Amino acid sequence: MIKGQNFRLKLGDKFIAGATNLQIHVSSNLEDTSSKDSTGNAQEQEMTGYSYDLTSDSFFSLVGDATGASSFDLLKATVMGQKVAWEADMVSGAQNREAESAGASTHKIGGTLIFNDGSITAQNRQNSTATFQAQGTGELLFDGVAATVANFA
């Protein structure tokens, strides 16, 4: 069982400070390959590619620290449309920001993304929060290996 606080998003060399939630979504692109030669009523599908995106929720912060990126940093990345290297990994230690040593039970997911949506919520008498969404660009990497059918067959 993996506890949520031990699976963190890292952008470049920094984790997201005050992170509360991480969602990674991967979707296969399918193409209908049914033809007059197909039998039955069911469609025949073939995978033509995939796409991925992620959403990160955190407490809103204007200033990061040596190992944590602030919400303000993510807001700037969203406005600038810059590509950012990312990695999601098992963590432990101080503030859950130390990557666990490589082992059979430790796996990393990563790639490159572009933040395309961000929102900040500042409700009276509540902690301010931030939500950022990003679209993957390029290959999705599993333990540093590109996600291709040949690599995972």
Label the pairing between strands 145-146 and 129-142.
antiparallel
Average pLDDT of the residues in 73-100: 82
Average pLDDT of the residues in 16-29: 90
Q: Measuring CA to CA, which residue among 28, 10, 29, 32 is closest to residue 19?
A: 10
Average pLDDT of the residues in 141-151: 71
With a CB cutoff of 8 Å and minimum separation 6, the contacts of 139 are 111, 146, 147, 148
Is there a contact between 53 and 26 (Cβ–Cβ < 8 Å)? Answer: no
Decide which of 70 and 95 is more confident.
Answer: 70
Amino acid at 88: A
Confidence of residue 105 (pLDDT cuts 50, 70, 90): low
Q: Using one digit for the tens of pLDDT, what is the confidence trace for 39-61?
A: 888 888 888 888 999 999 999 98
